[in-house]
Amino acid sequence: MDVKLFDSELKVMCVLWREGDATAKHISDILKEEIGWNMNTTYTLIKRCIKKGAIERSEPNFMCHALIPKEEVQEAETKELIDKIYDGSADMLFAALLGRKQLSAEQIEKLKQIVADME
């Protein structure tokens, strides 16, 4: 992924991923309720996402469409986290997550299945 999104821009994208295509006003209403942002803040962030190629705008009603899939952003953000905090070592991140010991038996089984599927 070539587009770098800031946390505030990701909040706009998360609304689109969750809701599907939506008007700028609808996105603004949701973020006002969830975060307390005013309309100008949300519109500014939507415009930044449009400029970066993450959102496509169409008429009528300033309809917004996510151009970047959530999975692509998750992958890029995870890679950046691993590179930045764990020296590029995914197993160190995995160990850190498991070391927190707050996983349910169901979550542990799910992780075992993911590892088994990779082998």
Structure tokens at 85: 């905090």
Contacts with 8 (C-beta within 8 Å, 6 or more apart), sequence order: 45
Provide the pLDDT confidence category of residue 27 given band limits of 50, 70 and 90.
Answer: very high
Q: Look at residue 88 in the predicted model and tell me its pLDDT.
A: 87
Q: Look at residue 1 in the predicted model and tell me its pLDDT.
A: 60
Q: Look at residue 112 in the predicted model and tell me its pLDDT.
A: 85
The whole model's pTM is what? 0.79
| Residue 5 Cα distances to 10, 11, 97, angstroms | 6, 10, 24
Kindly state the average pLDDT of the residues 83-90: 88
Residue type, 84: K
d(CA 113, CA 34): 35
- Which is more confident, 68 or 81? 68
Alpha helices in 3-104 (DSSP H): 7-19, 24-34, 39-51, 70-85, 90-99
Least confident of 14-18, 22-26, 39-43, 73-77: 73-77
